[in-house]
Amino acid sequence: MFPVGSVSAEDQSESASREGQVAVAPSASDYVTAFRAARQADRPLVVCFHAPGQRDWCEAVTAKWGGEWDGKTWVAWVEIGRTIRSGGKDVVLSDDPAFALLEGKPGVAVVDFSLPKDSPGYGRARQVFPLPESGTLSDEQLAAIRAATALPGELPQPNSAAALAKGDAAPPKVMQDDAVRPAAAFRPSLPTLSWLTDYAAATRAAKEAKRMMLVYLVPEGGDQAALRDQFERTLADPAVAESLTPFVLARLPQSAAMKEEDREVALLDHPSLQEMQHQPGLFIVDYESEGEEYFGTVVSVFPFLNGRPYSVEQMKVILTLPKGTLTQRTMVYAVSTHPEHPASVRGKPDPYLFEEAEGHSRYQARIRLQGHHFWETRFHRILGRIPPGTLASEVCAESWPGQGLLAAAIECVRSWRQSSGHWRAVSSPQRAYGYDIKRGSNGVWYATGIFAGRN
C-alpha cells in the first residue's frame, strides 16, 4: 500500500464530431487531424462544412485533391452544428466567428497556414465559398478553391470572377485581415497540463479529485540530457497531452523525497517503488478506484529501462491501461506494446479473468514451477462464468531469474511468441481477457493469460 496523505516532497483533441477517414484521398480527414497536419506542413487547410447526412458534395472536393491535384492539401469534413474541444470547452465550429462569412451554412473555407507565422493573415480563413443552391460545386468553383490553396509558384492564379461567371456559382467571399479572429485562435489546442512540483500537494489533489496520479521522476545529471529531451518531446505530442488530462500530474527530480513518520525518505527508496529499480521514469498511483484492492496503491511503474525513453505509442498504452493491480497492468502493457500488436488485448478486460490469472500466477510462483496445473478444474469454473458460446483458454510463461517486473513481463510475452500454440491465443481476437504475473522466492516471475474466445 502506498502511503496516503503522509508524503511531501494539455489536442489530438478528439473532435466530438469526428468524421471517418476518407478512402479516396490521403488528404481527407477529421478536423483535428487535418488542422494539425496542415499547420505542421505549412500548407493551407480546406474546411468543408456540410449539413447532417449531406456530405456527398464534400467528396467531390476531396476526390479532386486525391486525383488531378497535388494530394498535399488537407481537407476536413465538418458537420454543421457539431463541436470540437478547444481551450477547455466545446466549440461549435460552424458558428465560430472565424467562419462567420459562411453564416452557418454549407460551404468551403480556406484556412491559410502557408504564410509566415507572424503574418496578419496566418491561420485565417482568407476565403470562403458558399455552397450553391444546386448542392454541388462547379468545376469553376473547385478551380477557384484550388487557386486559393496554391502556394507561390505552384500554379497561375486564375481570374476567379471570370471563372465563376457561369451558372449559379457565387464568387468567394474574402475577409479582411482584421475582419474576424483567425481560425488559429480556436485551434484544437493542446490542453493546459498542470504539473505539480510537490509530492504531498499532488497526493492531496489526487485524493480530493478521486483521480489517478502520474509522477514523472526526471533524470538528473548532464549525461541524462538527451534522455530528458527525448521524453519531453513525447510528452508534448498532442495525443499524449490529451491522454494526460485525466491525471493529477507531478514532475519531480529523480532524487525527490517524501516525508514519512517525520523523516525524509527518497521516493525511489520506498518499498512500493521497488520495481522502479532506482531509475527515473514514471509511476502511477490509483486514487480513483474506491473499494478496489488497488485503491491508493502504485498500479504502474515504468522506469526508463536501459536508458530509453517511452515513445508516443508506448505512452498511449500506458495512459489507457485498464483498471487493475500493478502486475496486471504491467502484463497488459507488455502484450499491448509487442511489435506484432496481439489482438487479445482488444477484447474486454474482464475482472473475473484477471482474478483467475492472478490466482494461477500466484500458485505457480508459490510452487516455483510453470505449468497449467489443475487447468481442467479451472476451465470448468471459468466456463460457468463466461458468456454462452465462448470457450476458455490459458497461456503460461516464466521469466529469467532476477528480472524486474517490467522486463519480466516483456520476456514472458517474448516466450509466448516462440510457441505457436501460446501465440495463437495471445495474438487472436478474444471476447474477454485477463493477465497477471507473480514472482516466486526463486526470483522468477510466472505469468498467466486467460481468455474467453468464440467457441
* Residue type (1 letter), 31: Y
Find cell 469553376 and name the residue: 140
Residues 80-99, mean pLDDT to the nearest whole number: 77
For the chain, what's the residue count?
A: 455
Find cell 483467475 and name the residue: 356
Domains of the chain by start residue, with CATH: 28-186 (3.40.30.10), 190-320 (3.40.30.10), 327-455 (3.40.33.10)
| Confidence class for position 188, pLDDT limits 50, 70, 90 | very low
Residue 17, pLDDT above cutoff 60: no
Question: CA dihedral defined by 364, 365, 368, 370, rounded to 10 degrees?
Answer: 40
287-321, pLDDT tens digit by residue? Answer: 999 999 999 999 999 999 999 999 999 999 999 99
Residues 77-95, mean pLDDT to the nearest whole number: 78
Q: Using CA atoms, how far apart are residues 173 and 50, in angstroms rounded to an integer?
A: 18
pLDDT number for residue 175: 42
Lowest mean pLDDT among 143-152, 156-165, 208-217: 156-165
Q: Using CA atoms, how far apart are residues 326 and 210, in angstroms rounded to an integer?
A: 18
Cα→Cα distances 2→62, 251, 291, 296, 301, Å: 54, 18, 15, 6, 13
Q: Using CA atoms, how far apart are residues 31 and 18, in angstroms rounded to an integer?
A: 7
Lowest mean pLDDT among 159-163, 198-202, 231-235, 360-364: 159-163
For 276-337, give the DSSP string. Answer: GTT--EEEEEE-S-TTSTTTTSEEEEEE-GGG-PPPHHHHHHHTTPPS--HHHHHHHHHHHT
The CA-based diameter of the chain, rounded to the nearest angstrom, is 86
pLDDT number for residue 342: 95
100-119, pLDDT tens digit by residue? Answer: 778 888 988 888 887 777 77
| Confidence class for position 222, pLDDT limits 50, 70, 90 | confident
Nearest-10 crossing angle of helices 405-417, 326-336: 40
Entry pTM: 0.63
Nearest-10 crossing angle of helices 139-149, 56-66: 60
Burial class (CB in 10 A: 0-12, 13-18, 19+), 272: middle
Mean pLDDT computed over every residue of the chain: 81
